[in-house]
Amino acid sequence: MAIPKEIAFAEKKTARPKLKSFKLGYDIRTQLELKSMLIPAVLFIFLFDFTPLFGLLMAFKDFEPVMGVKGIFTADWNNFAHFKRIFVNNFQLWPMVRNTLGINLLGAAVSIPCTLLFALLLNEIRSTRFKSLVQTVTYLPHFLSWVIFGGLFITLLNTDGIVNFLLMKLHLIDKPLQFLADPKYFWGVAIGTGLLKDIGWGAILYLAAMAGVDQSLYEAAAIDGAGRFKRMLHITIPGILPTLMVMIIFAVSGMLNNNFTQIYVLQNSLNLPTSQVIDTYVYQTGLLNFQFSSATAIGLMKSVFALLLLFGANTLSKKITKTGLF
Amino acid sequence: MKIKKRSFAVSGLLALSMAVTACGGSGTKNESASSPSASAPAGTAAASSAPGASGSADKAVWFSTVDFWNPPATWNTDPNSVEGALTAKTGLTFEFNIPAQDGDTKLNLMLVSGKSFPDVLTVTNDVMVKKLIESGKVWNLEEFLKKYDPDSHILKDFPADVKGTIEERDGGFYAYPSHINSADQRKVYPPAGQFYVDQVDYATNNGILVNSNILKEIGMTLEDIKTEAGLFKAYEKAKGLKVDGAPVIPLLVDGKGYQGSTLSFLQDTFGAMVVDKDGNYHDRLLAPETKDSLNFLFKAMKGGYFEPGQMTVDNAAVKADIASGRVFTFIGNTANTSFQLNDYWASSGPILADSGKKPTLGKSKRAGGGWMKTFISKDTKYPEKLAKWLSFMTSKEGMLLHIYGLEGIHYKFDQEGRIVKTEKGLKDAADYMNTGLFAFWPFHNTTFSYSIQEPPTETTDKEAVVANRAQSAYGKSKETKIFDSSAMNLPANLFPASSENANIETQIKTYKEAQIAKIVMAKSEDEFNKQYDELIAQLKKLGIEKLDTERNKYIQQKNQEYGVDVKGINS
User: What does the pLDDT look like over B262-297, one tens digit per residue?
Assistant: 999 999 999 999 999 999 999 999 999 999 999 999
Residue B522 and residue B432 share a domain: no
Q: Which helix (H) or strand (E) holds B253?
A: strand B249-253
In a domain, A64, yes or no: no
In one-letter notation, the amino acid at residue A104 is N
Is A251 a member of any domain?
Answer: yes
- Is-contact B122 B65, C-beta < 8 A? yes
Which amino acid does the sequence have at B437?
A: L
Whether residues B398 and B273 share a domain: the answer is: no
Residue B8, in any domain of the structure: no
Taking an 8 Å cut-off on Cβ atoms, the answer to whether B12 and A36 are in contact is yes
Residues B377 and B358 in one domain: no
Range of the domain at B271: 202-366+468-562
Domain with residue A184: its CATH number is 1.10.3720.10
pLDDT at position B7 is 54
B312/A269 CB distance under 8 A:
yes
Q: For residue B398, tell me if it sits in a domain.
A: yes
| A42 lies in some domain | no
* CB neighbour list of residue A63: distance below 8 Å, 6 or more residues apart: A57, A71, A72, A75, A292, A293, A296, B498
Partners of residue B361 on adjacent β-strands = B482
Give contacts of A180 with chain B, Cβ < 8 Å: 309, 312
Q: Which of the four pLDDT bands, split at 50, 70 and 90, describes residue A1?
A: very low
Give a yes or no: residue A17 inside a domain.
no
Of B425, B452, B479, which closes a domain?
A: B452
- Across the interface, do A182 and B308 touch by the CB < 8 Å criterion? yes
Q: What is the DSSP letter of B106?
A: H
Q: What residues does B97 pair with on adjacent strands?
A: B63
Report the alpha-carbon distance of residue A253 to residue A315 in Å, rounded: 12
The mean predicted confidence, pLDDT, of chain B is 89
**For the segment B298-347, what is each residue's pLDDT rounded down to a tens digit?**
999 999 999 998 998 888 889 999 999 999 999 999 998 999 999 999 99
In this structure, the answer to whether residues B437 and B508 fall within a common structural domain is no
Residue A299 has pLDDT above 50, yes or no: yes
Domain boundary among B391, B417, B452: B452
A-interface mutation test, from B7, B256, B500, B503, most A Cβ less than 10 A away? B503
In-domain check, residue A192: yes
Residues B399 and B330 placed together within one structural domain of the fold: no
| Whether B383 and B444 share a structural domain | yes
- List B residues 314-333 in contact with A (Cβ-Cβ < 8 A): none
Which residue from B15, B131, B518 is facing A39, i.e. has the nearest CB? B15
Would you give the DSSP letter of residue B336?
Answer: G
Domain count, chain A: 1
Q: What is the pLDDT of residue B28?
A: 37
Find the CB nearest B256 among A268, A273, A288. A268
Report how far residue B83's alpha carbon sits from residue B60's, in angstroms, rounded to the nearest whole number: 13
Question: Residue B16: inside a domain, yes or no?
Answer: no
Contact of A177 with A167, CB cutoff 8 Å: yes
Q: Does B497 touch chain A (CB under 8 A)?
A: yes
- The neighbouring-strand residues paired with B246 are B243
Q: Where are the alpha helices (DSSP H) in chain A?
A: 5-14, 24-30, 32-36, 39-45, 71-74, 81-87, 93-124, 128-139, 146-156, 162-169, 186-211, 215-223, 228-231, 237-239, 241-253, 260-266, 272-275, 278-283, 292-321
Q: SS3 for B71? A: coil
Question: How far apart are the CA of A16 and the nearest CA of chain B, in angstroms?
Answer: 21
Question: A48 lies in a domain?
Answer: no
Tell me which DSSP letter residue A269 carries.
T
Q: Using CA atoms, how far apart are residues A167 and B421, in angstroms rounded to an integer?
A: 54
Top residue of A30, A31, A32, A33 to mutate, by most chain B CBs within 10 Å, is: A33
Q: Which residues in chain A are contacts of B506 at CB distance < 8 A?
A: 285, 289, 291
In a domain? residue B14: no
pLDDT at B405 over 90: yes
Q: Which of B22, B105, B134 lies nearest to residue A288, judging by beta carbons?
A: B105
Domain count along chain B: 2
Q: Please report the residues numbered 244 through 303 in chain B whose beta carbons come closer than 8 angstroms to any beta carbon of chain A.
A: 256, 259
Chain B: residue whose CA lies nearest to A270: B517
Distances (CA, A) of B150 to A181, A202, B265, B381, B399: 57, 66, 45, 19, 20
The count of residues in chain B is: 571
CA distance B399 to B157: 15
Looking at the structure, do residues B89 and B232 belong to the same domain, yes or no? no
Minimal Cβ distance to B309: which of A33, A64, A158: A158
Best of A64, A270, A275, A282 to substitute, by most chain B Cβ atoms within 10 angstroms, is A270
Across the interface, do B498 and A92 touch by the CB < 8 Å criterion?
no
pLDDT at B18 over 80: no
Q: Is A78 among the domain residues?
A: no
B521-540 pLDDT per residue, tens: 999 999 999 999 999 999 99
pLDDT at B53 over 50: no
Question: Is B535 inside any structural domain?
Answer: yes
Q: What is the CATH number of the domain that holds B224?
A: 3.40.190.10
Residues B62 and B131 in one domain: yes
Beta-carbon neighbour count of residue B428 at 10 Å?
23
Type and span of the H or E element at B32? helix B31-34
Three-state secondary structure call for residue B73: coil
Q: How far is B60 from chain A (nearest CA, A)?
A: 23
Give A168→chain B minimum CA distance, Å. 17
Taking an 8 Å cut-off on Cβ atoms, the answer to whether A290 and B127 are in contact is yes
Specify the DSSP element, H or E, that contains B208. strand B206-211
Q: What value does the CA radius of gyration of chain B take, rounded to a whole number of Å?
A: 27
Position B165 pLDDT exceeds 80: yes
Q: What DSSP assignment string belongs to A70-99?
A: THHHHSPB-TTHHHHHHHSS-TTHHHHHHH
Shared domain check, B268 and B349: yes
Give A181→chain B minimum CA distance, Å: 6
Mean pLDDT, rounded, for B388-415: 96
How far is Cα A85 from Cα A93, in angstroms, rounded to an integer? 10
Our CA-based measurement puts residue B108 at a distance from the nearest CA of chain A, in whole angstroms, of 7
* The last residue of a domain, from among B452, B480, B507: B452
Q: What range does the domain containing A247 cover? A: 93-321
Torsion sign across C-alpha atoms B18, B19, B25, B29: negative
**In the predicted model, is pLDDT for residue B5 greater than 80?**
no
What pLDDT, in 10s, does the model give residues A108-135?
999 999 999 999 999 888 898 999 999 9
CA dihedral B498, A288, A55, B22 (to 10 degrees): -170
Q: Is B125 on the interface with A (CB under 8 A)?
A: no
Residue A54 located in a structural domain: no
**How does pLDDT run across A168-208, given as a tens digit for each residue?**
999 999 988 989 988 999 999 999 999 999 999 999 989 99
B338 plus B206 within the same structural domain: yes
Q: Is residue B10 part of a domain?
A: no
Is some CB atom of chain A closer than 8 A to the CB atom of B538?
yes
Q: Provide CB contacts within 8 A for A210, sequence distance 6+.
A: A119, A120, A123, A236, A239, A240
**pLDDT at residue A6, rounded to an integer:** 53
In a domain, B20, yes or no: no
User: What ipTM is given for this predicted complex?
Assistant: 0.71
The residues pairing with B376 across neighbouring beta strands, listed in sequence order, are B120
Nearest residue in chain B measured CA to CA from A161: B309
Q: How far apart are CA B554 and CA B501, in angstroms?
A: 14
Residue in chain A nearest B259 by alpha carbon: A269
Would you call A159 and B497 a contact, using CB atoms and an 8 Å cutoff? no
Same domain, B125 and B272: no
Beta bridge partners of B331: B208, B253
Q: Does B384 lie in the same domain as B313? A: no
B518 lies within 8 A of chain A by CB: yes
Is residue B25 situated within a structural domain? Answer: no
Nearest by CB: A43 against B22, B111, B518? B22
